[in-house]
Chains A and B, each alone.
Chain A
Amino acid sequence: MKLLSKLTLFITLSKLLIVVLFVLLLPSLVGYVSFQYSNYYLRQQKQKVLSEIKQNGIDYYLQGDSAYASYTMLKEEYISILPAENEMVRDTIETSKRVVGGDTLTYRILTHELTGTHKNYILEIGKTTSTIGEYNNLLQRFTLYVLIGLIALSIVVDLIYTNILIRPLTKIVKTKLLNRKFPFKEPLSPIKTSITDFQILDRSLIDLMEKIHEAFDKEREFTSNASHELMTPISILQSNVENLMMEEDISDEMQDKISAMMRTLNRLKKIVNSLLYISRIENDQFAKSDTVNVRELVTEMMEELSYRLETKSIQFSNDTSKNSYLKLVNRDLIFQLIYNLINNAIRYNKENGSIYISDKHLPDNTYQLFIKDTGIGIKEEELATIFNRFKKSGKEKGEGFGLGLSIVKSITAIHGFTIEVSSEYGKGTVFTITVPAYLPV
């Protein structure tokens, strides 16, 4: 999942959690607040009554009667002053039922003992609980709406800001990491951002890629220079040996030795030649401007190699489509690429084995070419390294210098193709060359 999606998800979920928590807490919260408020209200009323009594005496209420009671029209509130009985009444607030004007209602009641001149009185101020809760629902709904509005606003703001915040990162990933091809030839420019972490990341990536590119260049340059420098001495040596071989009075034994020298020299020559060839491919010295018909190329190659197939009695079938073209490629390199693969397919094949070449156009315009053989196969632990230089399967046979597949790899890489290998040891191998959809086929 992308960082942005994760952050979006997190922000939304965390806010939703807050909303849910709040909705759960809201009734008790509002209940508590209105409860506290009604207590406060009752105490205020008590203070008012007390100050009246202080100013005007208790008779202001009693008017000569022994008790006083009054209630509002809808019986939401009442007040009563009654003579105190024997028991001590504390100064309390409690919820209790009272019969007022013939109706039994639940009230929040403040009880207070008044100390009069002759006797004590009890003051009760009540407020129906239904009036206390009256505004609760409205208050809750209103608070909820405001909260949801605020949360929505904060989600939008958060998302916009997060988006802006990680935009440099997205840009770094896009320009520095995705679609970047080894060895990172294109020059890179730093990304504009005020976030130091991203600056460091960006800078490090650029440095790293430049270093890789430099190291790659150095290796390539070294291979090229070293190979060139080796060519002249090898050339001299070869001429020496060739002339030596032509001496007339040489014993058979000597001739054998010279011949062995020649073979070693040849091996040296092929290795240097292959390395040079690879460095030339990697240096882009081959123009890619040819169009190749795959079927015709394979057919031509088979004619070239027919005697090898015959020697080993290998069945060969070319099942490629007539209309498969590789465009903007170098014909010689493509020839070498397929030649090396088919040559290997013959070399590592068994007597009476078979080689099957086919291709496929995928719906997304990707083109795949398969070279399948029924040869000795490649061990699983060797599969990962077969394209590396100087690695080869079937070492015991002493054939090849292990550069053939390295050349194959370089040729596919320079054209933007990919090559994959799958193999079952003892049964055979399939090489798959894939031409990605964005390249013309």
Chain B
Amino acid sequence: MKTLIIEDERSLAREIKLFLEKAFYLCDSAYAAAEAKKLMIDNEYDFILLDLGLPDKDGLDLLNETKKMCPSASYIILTARGDLEDRIKGLDLGADDYLPKPFSLLELQSRMQAITRRKSGNNDPVMELGDFSIDLNKRTVYFEEKEIELSRKEFDLLSYMILHKNRPLTRLQLSEHIWGNFSDDDYDSNFIDVHIKNIRKKMGAHASVDWLQTLRGIGYKIKI
């Protein structure tokens, strides 16, 4: 997947690039609107990550123009402005998603994956996880043809960890994904433990759940 990061904060652009490249995205960075446009003429992008506060042009205006230049790309607006009006305008102009700063890179990747899934008509392959098979489209978990009932939050949590498999995930990162930016604090993240416990209980009744590891003092990791 080819991605263009349009972000005037160079260090942020660099971190995003570093992260996405590890997740096997090919990335270009542009620090201004003019530069971005040049890159878009020469390249075809799957994703365009757009900061609204650019030095030479308002991000929304740029979006309006580039929507014509790169119609097939998926746009995610990244902004520190975070006004509701901007959000509505951005989505009206054809952005696929909107992520207010400060955002978690994990969340960014998760949103990108959700867009890809949506655009490809929700036909992900069924995932194998230990002895279980997980259907992300139907949101179901199976053990040998037998469906295991997980609550909505539990499934959200599980699929998020699968997406970021083999990475340590903190309780905060998990709770932010589950409860959004308004999850309050440490208090909320404690409930991640409750959900994990439930997942372990429900799935562990059928087969080993060793793949779901607890990282003491940090959080959890799915290791495959």
Q: Which residues of A contact B (CB under 8 A)?
A: 228, 231-232, 234-240, 242-243, 245-246, 255-256, 259, 262-263, 266-267, 269-270, 273, 276-277, 280, 285-286, 307-308, 311, 336, 343, 347, 398-401, 404
Contacts and interface: CB of A to CB of B under 8 A. Distances in A.
A242 B102 contact: no
A33 B186 CA distance: 97
Given A235-B12, A243-B18, A400-B184, A311 B191 contact: yes
A404 B81 contact: no
A229 B80 CA distance: 8
A263 B172 contact: yes
Interface stretch (B54-62, B103-111, B136-144): B103-111
A255 B187 contact: no
A234 B186 contact: no
Given A246-B167, A273-B181, A347-B187, A255 B218 contact: yes
Contacts of B187: 347, 399-400
17 contacts: A228-B80, A232-B80, A234-B101, A235-B102, A242-B104, A242-B105, A246-B167, A255-B168, A259-B217, A259-B218, A266-B172, A285-B83, A285-B84, A285-B85, A307-B153, A311-B194, A343-B184
Contacts of B120: none
A308 B181 CA distance: 19
B81 A228 contact: yes
Nearest to A346: B187
A249 B191 CA distance: 30
B95 interface: no
B9 interface: yes
A243 B19 contact: yes
Contacts of B82: 228, 231, 276
A245 B105 CA distance: 12
B223 interface: no
Interface string B83-101: 1110000000000000011
Contacts of B104: 238, 242
A270 B80 contact: no
A267 B106 CA distance: 18
B14 to A, nearest CB: 9
Q: Counting chain B CB atoms within 10 Å of each CB, which of A228, A239, A245 scores highest?
A: A239
Contacts of A273: 181-182
Contacts of B184: 270, 343, 400-401, 404
A401 B215 CA distance: 26
B102 A238 contact: yes
Nearest to A404: B184
Nearest to A305: B191
Nearest to B193: A311
A263 B195 CA distance: 20
A234 B102 contact: yes
Given A262-B170, A263-B170, A286-B84, 7 more contacts: A228-B81, A232-B12, A239-B19, A245-B170, A246-B19, A246-B168, A401-B185
B16 interface: yes
A313 to B, nearest CB: 13
Nearest to A400: B185
A267 B185 contact: yes
A308 B191 contact: yes
Contacts of B100: 231
Interface of B: 9, 11-12, 15-16, 18-19, 22, 80-85, 100-106, 153, 167-168, 170, 172-173, 176, 181-182, 184-187, 191, 194-195, 215, 217-219
Nearest to A231: B80
Contacts of A269: 102
A327 B102 CA distance: 33
Contacts of B11: 236, 240
A270 B15 CA distance: 21
Q: Counting chain A CB atoms within 10 Å of each CB, which of B9, B85, B191, B218 scores highest?
A: B218
A336 B9 contact: no
A400 B11 CA distance: 31
A231 B102 contact: yes
Contacts of A259: 170, 217-219
Contacts of A231: 80, 82, 100-102
Contacts of A235: 9, 12, 80, 101-103
Given A263-B172, A343-B184, A401-B185, A243 B102 contact: no
Q: Counting chain A CB atoms within 10 Å of each CB, which of B9, B19, B101 scores highest?
A: B101
Contact of B15 (A236, A263, A266): A236
A399 B186 CA distance: 7
Contacts of B170: 245, 259, 262-263
Contacts of A280: 83-84
Given A231-B82, A286-B84, A236 B18 contact: no
Contact of B9 (A228, A236, A399): A236
A276 B80 CA distance: 11
Contacts of B81: 228
Given A235-B12, A242-B105, A307 B218 contact: no
A98 B173 CA distance: 125
A399 B15 contact: no
Contacts of A308: 191
A263 B186 contact: yes
A263 B219 CA distance: 12
Contacts of B19: 239, 242-243, 246
Nearest to B10: A236
Contacts of A336: 182
A262 B185 CA distance: 12
Nearest to A271: B185
Contacts of A234: 101-102
Given A236-B11, A280-B83, A307-B195, A243 B105 contact: yes
A416 B170 CA distance: 40
Contacts of B173: 242, 262
Given A228-B81, A262-B170, A307 B186 contact: no
